[in-house]
Amino acid sequence: MIDYDKALQQLLQSSYIAKLSLDQATRQQGIYILWLDSNPLVCLKTGMAGTRQGTGIKGRLQLHFSSNPDNTVLARHLAADTTSDWVQNYDFEQREDRQEFLETQCFFQTVALPDLSKNDLKQFENFVEAKMKPKYAGRVGG
């Protein structure tokens, strides 16, 4: 069984992964946090990545950076956000603006958890979400 608090500390102490450093991301399954690089930091999203046909966390982060609303709920959350302070200089209805925002204003932290079952990974994701209280959580508009 996983020690949730210890794994969360590993996550919060992990390296920052921006778009330019995406090659550092693991191809294993695990959990991630998306941060707005501000003072103080703002937790935008937490999530999990399964094995994804061998691309794991790296593949999931690539999808988020692509900001396609067809394959990432983060893109749908951003597109629907018209009130947050960080939206002011962007039109998040435009994919290019979402991509620029993610590339220039955000970073991820990740923890690989290759030995967890999908169910255990999901339970840990729920724990991280409850602790971090991300701006974008759940269904868009729900």
Within a domain: 86: yes
Asked if residue 78 lies in contact with residue 70, where contact means CB atoms within 8 angstroms, the answer is no
Across the strands, what pairs with 49? Answer: 30
CA dist list (Å): 117 to 29, 113, 120, 133:
10, 9, 5, 24
Within a domain: 29: yes
Within a domain: 137: no
Cα dihedral 13, 16, 17, 21, rounded to 10, equals -120
pLDDT score at 22: 95
Within a domain: 84: yes
Within a domain: 140: no
Average pLDDT of 88-104? 96
Percent of the chain with pLDDT over 90: 91
State the total domains in the chain: 1
pLDDT score at 1: 73
Within a domain: 93: yes
| Average pLDDT score, the chain | 94
pLDDT score at 141: 65
Q: What residues make up the domain containing 23?
A: 4-132
Average pLDDT of 61-70? 95
